[in-house]
Structure 1
């Protein structure tokens, strides 16, 4: 333990000693000048007054030191005065019988004079030495180290990571295990003339574990691991980035075999000529130097470059050719099996209750990355700690999952009864459509508790991981988007429209337009693509560029989009009109319980008890009576209305 703390304590002790030395020098300097200016104590009087008192005989004793005369009067009062060169002063004191004595004026010693003269220069030199040392201590951040690499070398002190800590990305692990075997035993490949790839590019969405996987390679091979971000190379001064690349490879050569990990390499490796500026700008010079170092005339044996990015499409082609990044390793989001393994890794340090089932949690978190699952486990642990529990139960994981996916509950939001009722019908409409239209994902949960920016949420989860969607599923989702607004239209009428369904309408419109322009799901337009693959970023927003098309084609696209939207709306209206009683029953249960699971929703619409109590049935019956606050005459109204929420 002492060996680990010593490297951290020494710099602090040295800095502390330097500052203490400077402080003591200042105190000594001030005290010397203060002592040199110190004069005898006593009341200062004028020299003329002193002579008058001598003539009067009221001076008892005197002491002459240079031009300073001090002494006591007959009344024992001390005095001092400054005398000019007066040759008659001694005769005058003798004539009046004043007891006096003389002593030579104090002269500073040779060493004191030397200290007086040299101390200011020593003080200035000490401060300059301290400042220069601080500047050079961290060459990468100091003013004298612009061209130094900012790569940090991680050792076992920062925590060794192995493949046991990486789960859910088995295919990526298998591709990188070959690099580990080369670092452990290079001769095994050299005997057959094989060469290990010089670089591996990890491609995946944020949070999928690219950085963790790179650290696991270094941990398994037990070699030095240098890490740096792509943005650390680029500075406002031309040539600094290239100098840092050269210095980074020099450090790597001294520690070979080793791994150099460049995170977010797209910050420096973007396609040349695609942006503003000419070929001599700082970013392109840095990229050119990186290309030369990776596969130039100098052979960098034993140095493996591992880089990570979530934008491989913007990288320069020269960076991806064989000899530089020889292989691209896709790090996808985990499937249900991978999510279960990742949860098991993160649950090791968490005390779990017996009812916790990682398989169930994995099934209910499709699309979650490794970072999302780690956050889920952490949120569940925080919720259990907040409740004072010693074990994390399944209820905390469900609550944490709702918080991560839908946002935190906003129970402090004050809603009127009419707003709650409108939200309940809106969510009941979404839920009922998802239960009756084939192709919709199974209903997981429906709630009217405000979460995030929504006043209520209907949550549908697929049975398994989904990688594509059929036309049947997309049309079912279109109907699901309009279930909430049509439910309110049937209940309230057209005069109570609000802006709450804007998100539903936007989702439905975007989906229908993609079906027509990208997926070839329109018979009139055929299997043609009417939208470019790339998006332009303008003022922070991604804008899809449509291909040049005739006015007739654009009009046909709009009519097909409208047709798909209206078909989805008609199917939702048919389901809700035919099952209006079930809509009332489900809305009443939501008002009573606020949150219902998918199974509870199915039992409610059948009129069965959900196992809590029978209050939902009573509430639904009350809403269906003639005295209800929503008259029956207005239920089949002809307008659109929605509570402010998202599907």
Structure 2
């Protein structure tokens, strides 16, 4: 990879320049400084008076200056009055020693330097300052139109395709571009042309920027990187100028790759929003479209861009000829998660009991960034516990922290709050166990985590890529389980605000079933809701389409789904009243129960482990149903009071 490095050490260069400026200043000072005077200057009249008084010992007379010495040893100087013919007689009458001296005269060269050097010095300093500003890549007033693209030089921490795991299809798509740059004849002899651009599309944290760094590490050609927001300024025309300058730099280094991160900052639909900022963004986008595929072709320049908002990009930007390929970077499946964990675990000393497959199976929906954070949290936990190796226990604790939030054991809860939280979470757990389409329980706790007072975490046994109606209905029932448990145990007037997040989830899911997924018999398989962007693309909302009568029917269908889920949860908990009571007491005792421990209790077994520090331990048998198998992750929990 080419290194864009200036010749010589920049610090030495700057030191020499400023040293030269300092010497020039010294020269100016020396040219304008006259010979040191022999004393303070006095008026000529005072000088004649001192001579007449007899206080002057000696003088040295020049055409334009008189330097003298008083009898008390003090020096003085004065400027003589022209044509004073009586001065010599006055000095002689008062016994003053006097002598003559020629006036100092400079050469013509000295005179010219004295007049021109200050001006040249000011111009030189100004020129040097402007050069330094413009070298800042457009950061100064004289460099608004300069591109902020930086050539990436991976001297340390070089990333290659070997460091990219879990997204094999996306890696293969981009690896083909790298191979084209290395050996273009292999493709061109069959009539193939190098792609002009590739757009990386995926959720945040899936590895789009990591893929771009891998391309930079593998390509062996100049690699420029810039963010979409670097083009946009408050001044109209600046972004377009930067686009032109970026492509001029790329042409000088062709063949090369230009990576634009978060291109949606500049590539949004034209015609949306009002104001100068929108005009500036549209001009910048227009210039980008022309440079990528306009009247003049830019051969040898490959544009790679990344975004997690492909829906807001302008159609002209997405067409073939500009972005020939749209590479989807998905959330990894279980195989991909295992490979990603293996990459990140290379940097961590592992204990023999660590099994990446088990961790991958328990982290559905995790992106590459989430898995990297999981490994880092496990390493930090092991260091905090003064361990030399990171064991499986640290990974399990880190997974719970990432999924459910950090434990807040210092939070003081009253006995009534703990009791209500225990029954609330037991209600979620019992309904989940008795819903065949529900996911298995991973863990239930009444220890406050994050913003919740308690939580029941369910994890699927395998990755799932679509919802089914029976699963959605089961999730609605599980969401209502906490509120129903409070109603049955404490009464209608004592229910708390702990079910706020459950109600929000249930309402949102029911609305999507009715308005988006066509799961209402009365409304049919039609879409009644669409997303819309807010002003200038900031924020957003959902707009329901249809008449007032249709909207009333939508509301009634949503209410019906939630009411049915509430009724289903009520029936289950009434039938499993003994199981609800015993499981709640066990949670008060142990505070945290794993899915296997809940299953053991439901099958009539006992828990043989130390009790929580907050209470005694008594193994409790319990009867109930076995945990069913299926689906996708859902977190149910009691929110803070007043939420």
**Given the two structures, how large is their TM-score scaled by the length of structure 1?**
0.83
Find the aligned partners of 2:432 and 2:299 in 1 and give their Cα distance: 59
Question: How much does 1:47 deviate?
Answer: 7.5
Question: How much does 1:566 deviate?
Answer: 1.9
Residue 117 to residue 591, structure 1, CA distance change in 2 (3 Å)? farther
Residue 269 to residue 83, structure 1, CA distance change in 2 (3 Å)? closer
Higher mean alpha-carbon deviation, 474-483 vs 281-290, is at 281-290
Query: What is the aligned partner in structure 1 of residue 18 from structure 2?
Result: 19
How do 1:126-205 and structure 2 match up within 5 A? 126-157=124-155, 160-205=158-203
Find the aligned partners of 2:343 and 2:571 in 1 and give their Cα distance: 48
Query: What is the aligned partner in structure 1 of residue 629 from structure 2?
Result: none
| Contact 1:260-1:306 at 8 Å conserved across structures | yes
| Contact 2:351-2:392 at 8 Å conserved across structures | yes
Question: How much does 1:508 deviate?
Answer: 0.9
Question: How much does 1:425 deviate?
Answer: 3.2
| Contact 1:64-1:101 at 8 Å conserved across structures | yes
Query: What is the aligned partner in structure 1 of residue 118 from structure 2?
Result: 120
Deviations 1:289-345 (A, max 9, x none): 433443444444443333222222233333333333333222111001101101111
Higher mean alpha-carbon deviation, 506-515 vs 170-179, is at 170-179
| Contact 2:426-2:584 at 8 Å conserved across structures | yes
| The one of 567, 570, 574 aligned to 1:573 | 570
Find the aligned partners of 2:505 and 2:127 in 1 and give their Cα distance: 65
Find the aligned partners of 1:226 and 1:500 in 2 and give their Cα distance: 51
Find the aligned partners of 1:420 and 1:29 in 2 and give their Cα distance: 84
Query: What is the aligned partner in structure 1 of residue 369 from structure 2?
Result: 371
Find the aligned partners of 1:575 and 1:484 in 2 and give their Cα distance: 12
| Contact 1:408-1:452 at 8 Å conserved across structures | yes
- Unaligned segments of structure 1, at least 5 residues: 623-640
Deviations 1:197-233 (A, max 9, x none): 4332222112212232234345444333233333334
SS at match of 2:555: helix
| Contact 1:588-1:620 at 8 Å conserved across structures | no
Question: How much does 1:124 deviate?
Answer: 0.4
Query: What is the aligned partner in structure 2 of residue 307 from structure 1?
Result: 305
Query: What is the aligned partner in structure 1 of residue 633 from structure 2?
Result: none
Question: How much does 1:356 deviate?
Answer: 1.9
| The one of 452, 456, 459 aligned to 2:457 | 459
Residue 601 to residue 112, structure 1, CA distance change in 2 (3 Å)? farther
Residue 444 to residue 610, structure 1, CA distance change in 2 (3 Å)? farther
Higher mean alpha-carbon deviation, 266-275 vs 162-171, is at 266-275
Find the aligned partners of 1:643 and 1:327 in 2 and give their Cα distance: 45
Find the aligned partners of 1:353 and 1:111 in 2 and give their Cα distance: 83
Find the aligned partners of 1:5 and 1:325 in 2 and give their Cα distance: 27
Residue 111 to residue 392, structure 1, CA distance change in 2 (3 Å)? farther
Find the aligned partners of 2:67 and 2:144 in 1 and give their Cα distance: 65
Matched, 1:290 2:288: yes
Query: What is the aligned partner in structure 2 of residue 483 from structure 1?
Result: 481
| Contact 1:423-1:643 at 8 Å conserved across structures | no
Deviations 1:10-47 (A, max 9, x none): 223222322233334335545665x53843258x8888
Find the aligned partners of 1:424 and 1:348 in 2 and give their Cα distance: 41
**Given the two structures, how large is their TM-score scaled by the length of structure 2?**
0.84
Find the aligned partners of 1:167 and 1:642 in 2 and give their Cα distance: 37
| The one of 495, 511, 514 aligned to 1:513 | 511
Find the aligned partners of 1:265 and 1:325 in 2 and give their Cα distance: 12
Find the aligned partners of 1:21 and 1:582 in 2 and give their Cα distance: 88
Find the aligned partners of 1:190 and 1:54 in 2 and give their Cα distance: 104
Query: What is the aligned partner in structure 2 of residue 337 from structure 1?
Result: 335
Q: CA RMSD in A?
A: 3.8
SS at match of 2:155: helix
Query: What is the aligned partner in structure 2 of residue 559 from structure 1?
Result: 556
| Contact 1:483-1:573 at 8 Å conserved across structures | yes
- Unaligned segments of structure 2, at least 5 residues: 621-636
| The one of 394, 397, 400 aligned to 2:395 | 397
Find the aligned partners of 1:387 and 1:129 in 2 and give their Cα distance: 59
Question: How much does 1:4 deviate?
Answer: 8.3
Question: How much does 1:466 deviate?
Answer: 1.6
| The one of 320, 323, 326 aligned to 2:324 | 326
SS at match of 1:474: helix
| Contact 2:164-2:214 at 8 Å conserved across structures | yes
Find the aligned partners of 1:213 and 1:544 in 2 and give their Cα distance: 33
How do 1:552-631 and structure 2 match up within 5 A? 553-603=550-600, 606=604, 608-613=606-611, 618=616
Query: What is the aligned partner in structure 1 of residue 9 from structure 2?
Result: 10
| Contact 2:3-2:153 at 8 Å conserved across structures | no
